[in-house]
């Protein structure tokens, strides 16, 4: 081919990017990728995420083009201690009581990674109680952007309308994307988490009160116990510091006893099905056990289900995995690959988080091995398992185990 003439017109510029996808590619999970695509298309069509007014952080119901809720998005900079948190309660707490602001056992402003990390642990252990959560980029007018970002966005849009030749030179016309729980942006530090929305669930507190008044059939009660034990395993391993009975969900499908059902052969009648969903995992993976003012206990420890020994089913599901050093090492490496995406990632802090995680796994393995109860599990002394310095020529790792003696001031809160 002949080279282009020196005075030939330059190739036409591509239209300004609206930064809709930002690497939201999940080749290993096409189903999740398609859901994110639906959310992006809906935003382009003017169906914006809707802010959730409960809770202490900025979180949003994400919808598809039909207005159906398909996910929950939590931007990094709108987390409880983020700079753009739209909830005034945290601002007031920081203003009036700065000494009690934040949780010194957590890495601040990494809640979106904690959400995605809980999903990773859940899938690795095959617990299947955390709605799938990953790190994503989204941009929407309903997010709580800074005043500067909004002014810049309006100025660029105005320039594109009034002087198209100038407007086409801008890299981005709309608001900058916010990263949720999917994948961190190489060029923007606005990150968050995207969790698939689950339908048909209600707060655990609602169903637990109902089951107390109307006891479940024996088989269904065993289902509930097994699901509850999965929640215990997840929360304990990630050391969730924010688990009440209002932020995990129960779905109870009970066939109605209609005349039509009574006429059907008894073999065809379905048994009730019960499932749990563990949401709100953004305050987990601490770098030390709570030892200051509050203990951040697991509120499920006061439930009747916590007084029953771990079942053989949960032991068979979890113990072979967490007793395998290779499994634990692989889990640690997967969490490292996830957490290092954050611009503020600190390797030293991550090693402290892993030391807590390994200590929790050690205690849990003992509790499962000897069929203790969840209540007895949370009463075990907190342990740290740190990587010891190995000789230079050694290819293996060794670990040191230590108990945390310092206890928080309020052990019940």
Q: DSSP secondary structure string, 118-177?
A: HHHHHHHTT---SPPEEB-EE--TTS---HHHHHHHHHHHHHHHH-HHHHTT-SB-SPPP
Q: How far is CA 145 from CA 86, 142, 152, 198, in A?
A: 10, 8, 11, 28
∠ at Cα 390 (389, 393), nearest 5°? Answer: 145
Q: What is the DSSP letter of 10?
A: P
Alpha-carbon span 287 to 31, nearest angstrom: 33
* β-pair type (273-278, 192-196): unpaired
Locate the domains of the chain by residue range: 30-196
Q: Which residues are within 8 A (CB) of 168 and not within 5 positions of it... i.e. 6 or more apart?
A: 13, 15, 16, 160
Q: How far is CA 120 from CA 123, 124, 382, in A?
A: 5, 6, 23
**Closest by Cα among 396, 313, 324 to 361:** 324
Quote the pLDDT of residue 77. Answer: 80
Q: Angle between the 325-339 and 111-124 helix axes, to the nearest 10 degrees?
A: 150
Q: Which residues are within 8 A (CB) of 330 and not within 5 positions of it... i.e. 6 or more apart?
A: 124
Alpha-carbon span 192 to 279, nearest angstrom: 15
Q: What is the DSSP letter of 304?
A: G
Range list of β-strands (E), 5-142: 50-52, 59-63, 69-75, 133-134, 137-138
Quote the pLDDT of residue 11. Answer: 43
Over the chain (413 residues), the average pLDDT of each successive run of 10 is 47 39 78 94 92 79 96 86 58 55 80 96 98 91 60 50 52 49 37 92 95 94 98 98 92 69 53 93 93 81 97 98 97 97 93 97 98 97 84 64 66 56
Listed in sequence order, the DSSP H helices in 168-283 are: 204-213, 218-238, 259-263
* β-pair type (192-196, 69-75): antiparallel
């Amino acid at each position: 081919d002949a080279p282009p003439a020196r005075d030939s017109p330059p190739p036409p510029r591509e239209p300004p990017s609206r930064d809709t996808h930002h690497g939201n590619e999940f080749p290993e999970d096409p189903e999740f990728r398609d859901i994110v695509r639906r959310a992006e298309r809906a935003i382009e069509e003017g169906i914006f995420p809707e802010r959730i007014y409960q809770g202490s952080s900025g979180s949003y119901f994400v919808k598809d083009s039909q207005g159906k809720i398909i996910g929950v998005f939590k931007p990094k900079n709108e987390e409880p201690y983020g700079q753009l948190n739209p909830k005034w309660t945290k601002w007031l707490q920081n203003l009036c009581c700065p000494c009690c602001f934040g949780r010194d056992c957590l890495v601040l402003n990494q809640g979106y990674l904690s959400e995605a990390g809980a999903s990773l642990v859940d899938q690795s252990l095959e617990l299947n109680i955390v709605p799938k959560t990953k790190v994503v980029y989204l941009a929407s007018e309903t997010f709580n952007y800074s005043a500067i970002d909004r002014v810049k966005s309006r100025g660029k849009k105005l320039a594109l309308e009034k002087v198209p030749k100038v407007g086409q030179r801008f890299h981005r016309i709309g608001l900058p994307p916010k990263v949720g729980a999917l994948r961190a942006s190489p060029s923007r530090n606005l990150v968050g988490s995207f969790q698939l929305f689950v339908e048909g669930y209600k707060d655990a507190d609602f169903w637990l009160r109902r089951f107390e008044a109307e006891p479940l059939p024996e088989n269904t009660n065993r289902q509930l116990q097994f699901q509850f034990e999965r929640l215990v395993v997840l929360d304990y391993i990630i050391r969730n510091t924010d688990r009440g009975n209002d932020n995990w969900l129960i779905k109870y499908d009970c066939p109605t006893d209609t005349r039509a059902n009574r006429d059907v052969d008894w073999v065809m009648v379905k048994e009730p099905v019960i499932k749990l969903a563990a949401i709100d995992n953004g305050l987990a993976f601490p770098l030390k056990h709570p030892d200051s003012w509050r203990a951040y206990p697991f509120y499920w420890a006061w439930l009747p289900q916590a007084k029953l020994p771990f079942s053989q089913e949960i032991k068979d599901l979890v113990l072979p995995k967490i007793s395998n050093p290779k499994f634990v090492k692989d889990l640690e490496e997967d969490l490292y690959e996830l957490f290092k995406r954050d611009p503020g990632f600190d390797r030293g802090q991550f090693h402290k988080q892993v030391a807590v995680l390994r200590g929790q796994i050690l205690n849990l393995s003992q509790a499962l091995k000897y069929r203790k109860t969840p209540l007895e599990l949370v009463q075990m002394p907190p342990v740290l398992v740190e990587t010891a310095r190995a000789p230079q020529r050694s290819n293996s790792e060794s670990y040191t185990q230590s108990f945390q003696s310092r206890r928080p001031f309020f052990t019940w809160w």
